[in-house]
Amino acid sequence: MMMQQTNSGKAQTMVGMVIVAVGILVLAPKFIALTPLASDTMEQITDMFINALPSIGLGALHAGQALAFEPASFFAGLLRNLLSFWPLLMVGVGVLMMRTRWAGGHGKIGARENSSAGSGR
């Protein structure tokens, strides 16, 4: 039974690693394309952000209004926006799959093996 849990945990970790790798491979060309934009000075970035604040606020108010009065339309738009970030979502899901294995699996398995090794003597 414990061997099946160990193997399923390893399989989950491997699937998580594959998902992260595919997501990063899809995102890498986009990051490379953004490299020239990253050379802007901090002052220019700050000015652009300050100029965009009113638009961001109006967009947030419009989203709140849509959520309050047309929830189905709001969630349809939210789904469309989330689907445009699918490579990033892949990386996130893969990391979560690996994290659950690393956080919960290794410590418990090691503790079980040590306790069973001690009781077998």
| Domain boundaries along the sequence of the chain | 48-83, 86-114
pLDDT digits 0-9 by tens, 7-39: 667 777 888 888 888 888 887 777 777 666 666
Instruction: Give yes or no for residue 111 having a pLDDT over 50.
Output: no
Instruction: Give yes or no for residue 115 having a pLDDT over 90.
Output: no
pTM for the model = 0.44
**What is the rounded average pLDDT for all residues in the chain?**
75
pLDDT at 61: 93
Residue 67 C-beta-side C-alpha neighbours within 13 Å:
7
Note the Cα 117 to chain centre separation in Å: 38
Q: How confident is residue 88, by pLDDT bands cut at 50, 70 and 90?
A: confident
Structure token digits, residue 108: 């418990």
pLDDT at 107: 46
pLDDT at 68: 93
28-63: burial string, b at 16+ Cβ within 10 Å, e else: eeeeeeeeeeeeeeeeeeeeeeeeeeeeeeeeeeee
